[in-house]
Chains A and B, each alone.
Chain A
């Protein structure tokens, strides 16, 4: 087990370097430069000023030199400074946004699993009944409805018409002078709409996954055996079937890990939530190379870690893998 782990972790290093090399190349292949956003179409900018700004960012050097320099800084965990006019360290920019995105996604993920798993199981157990069909319709409506449209409707209804919920942002004005409890309640109110919409949209995938995995297990011989022993249906489903049906879900969870730091641009834009999605989008539009690379490296790292964790959990959950009896 330990050699296996060590091998897997060592493998991450060349993988990471490979990923950064490819992303670095792809990003620089995109037409345009950071400088364009800052100075194009302004009658007061001379070609010389442009050159000056390029030199400032080190864009006048050949691409491979830029990559090696970047890699060198990366090895010292220095993500560099953003090319945006604010010229701040990339780590600062990411650090102030990650907590928001991370907690939002975490809450949504917990809700997603908390709702999708039970309704997936329910749909499998009550296969082809009205309940199953109702659930199917419900989750697919969530999947198919454009989030921005649903979000705007709900904002109009609950925010403007009824005035029950705040429309956008995370805090009300003056929330800094509220007591801790009131402050928290205020934050919670701001989160209801975005998290509600987010969760509703994500139910379909996991619940269908759960349903089919469950259906497969229920057809197995050992379930028939369990029933034949006269065990109550509840025990059959929850103890014998569910445990086995949950195995593939672990992989799903592993894949969700990198998703935790990625945000949705449309979603964050509509709710005016300053998250990672917007940051990344703005970075791409401005060709803010250090920022883009920073986010991608973190994303790549988390994906690899997520896969690793999923594999490890898998082997813990499934004795066959653990003992090498696949």
Chain B
């Protein structure tokens, strides 16, 4: 519950990239133990605050379900350690010169966990079930752009689009489902949602509700047998308990909170038993304004608010320094990220000047007034996220210093969304978006997405951004796309429809007996099948 919004992963694609990071990913100082000899065996126990909801990934939307699905299923493509798309169940693919047709050549000899062969029939089925109006899935959008699919032979699959669609390739990273077990059945009632069968490196063994999910290595995995024999996903809803379990040896892998990372795990004893990792997470936190509200109609007012806020101070106060300032919707270090955007910086003087230019004058109580109306607004955020509450409090204090009166209201998630976001009944919000590896952000910023229940809920409308967003998804040429998204970031930096606040760090910790972990831009989990514990250090038999 603590960080619920973060657990809402955005697209099924993200399972390929549980945690990304900027180049290199800082490896914390640790006592070296030598590499040991790679050996099969042992069990890794991961702690999670949430329980998976459904192990058929297209029917789930929580990170716990994706954690498991990432090990049980494969997509046609995946992101490699540098976040470039590479083949997975597809050996290779061709994109026709007009950008309309993608032809995948599937890997031969891939087996489902029950022994059946993986073929293009499975791909066809997966596509059909996702776009089936009867399937309650949240991920149909990308696949609705497909005009035609065909499978000329068991190892070829072709998708044709009406218009070139750049996020298309990445969308085929969605988990492939076994047609031979699901075809002709109601997917919502399938036993596979509790006992999944995939093609991935780990096969499902058991799920004890509320306690744990156990997976076993799949010896016939097409990339080779994983070293670690068993993967146990323990559900421990409280982070303090989870941390004590880690220290007592009951867990091998979990995510630390900034305070645990900074203050509680720096002892030599801890560092001799665990390795800590730190890299930028794939999400950013922002302060979003309702642009339909007269207070925020003038971009000078929005620029002033951004100048009055010290992002560095928020990172120190709310994250103990475990994050970096955000200036736009992309992660620093990824190809779409524009490092050269104009940064307003922390400058309260400039904020005051901008506000004065916009016609705001100090009133008797120090609060700015224009046309008899004080500059006063409420920031909403969701319950159960301490970082966001602290962020709101720091912003409140900084804005008070330039004469803006901010109130804070914390709301339970479901009512927050229906009563405030959906009805546009808010002034400002603190929320977060996940950053997908593909930079297409059409749904969040395009002016056609401002309708009820749509994601451009702040009502941002900019003709040039609209044009660039459209252009960016109509070409596969990375240089051309980069040009579009760079320009969009410049416009957003000028317009400040959000004050982009920070990109938090992911802080995983892993028992030191596991070797072969190589932090990369994609995080640490991309090479999980190559992690191993040397024979003499294995704990579980």
Q: Which A residues are closer than 8 A to B by beta carbons?
A: 30-33, 36-47, 49-50, 52-53, 56, 84-88, 93, 96-97, 100, 152, 155-156, 159-160, 163, 166-171, 173-174, 268-275, 278-279, 285-287
Contact = CB atoms under 8 A, between A and B. Distances in A.
A234 to B, nearest CB: 46
Given A167-B241, A285-B414, 20 more contacts: A32-B415, A32-B419, A33-B414, A36-B417, A36-B418, A41-B431, A42-B10, A43-B10, A45-B141, A47-B454, A49-B141, A56-B136, A85-B61, A87-B189, A87-B193, A96-B210, A168-B245, A173-B45, A269-B241, A286-B414
Interface stretch (B215-223, B230-238, B365-373): B230-238
B361 to A, nearest CB: 38
Interface of B: 1, 5, 8, 10-11, 43, 45, 53-54, 59-62, 65, 133-134, 136-142, 188-189, 193-194, 209-212, 232, 234-238, 240-241, 244-245, 247-248, 250, 412-415, 417-419, 421, 431, 433-434, 436, 441, 443-444, 451-455, 540
Contacts of B1: 285
What 9 A-B pairs have minimum CB-CB distances, sorted nearest first? A274-B210, A32-B414, A31-B415, A85-B53, A272-B236, A85-B54, A269-B237, A43-B443, A40-B417
Nearest to A271: B241
A269 B194 contact: no
Nearest to B1: A285
Contacts of A100: 210
Residue among B1, B417, B443 having the largest count of chain A Cβ atoms under 10 Å: B417
A41 B453 CA distance: 9
A96 B443 contact: no
A44 B45 contact: no
Given A41-B431, A49-B138, A87-B188, A31 B413 contact: no
27 contacts: A31-B418, A32-B414, A33-B414, A36-B418, A38-B138, A40-B413, A41-B8, A44-B11, A44-B443, A49-B141, A50-B453, A85-B59, A85-B60, A85-B61, A85-B62, A85-B65, A87-B189, A96-B209, A155-B244, A159-B244, A159-B248, A163-B248, A166-B248, A169-B236, A270-B241, A278-B210, A285-B414
Given A85-B54, A170-B211, A47 B241 contact: no
Contacts of B236: 168-169, 272
A228 to B, nearest CB: 59
Given A173-B45, A174-B540, A43 B417 contact: no
Contact of A278 (B189, B237, B419, B436): B237
A170 B236 CA distance: 11
Contacts of B210: 96-97, 100, 273-275, 278-279
A155 B412 CA distance: 30
Nearest to A41: B8
Residue among B11, B134, B188, B453 having the largest count of chain A Cβ atoms under 10 Å: B453
A40 B412 CA distance: 13
A166 B250 CA distance: 9
B95 to A, nearest CB: 22
Nearest to B206: A176
Contacts of B60: 85
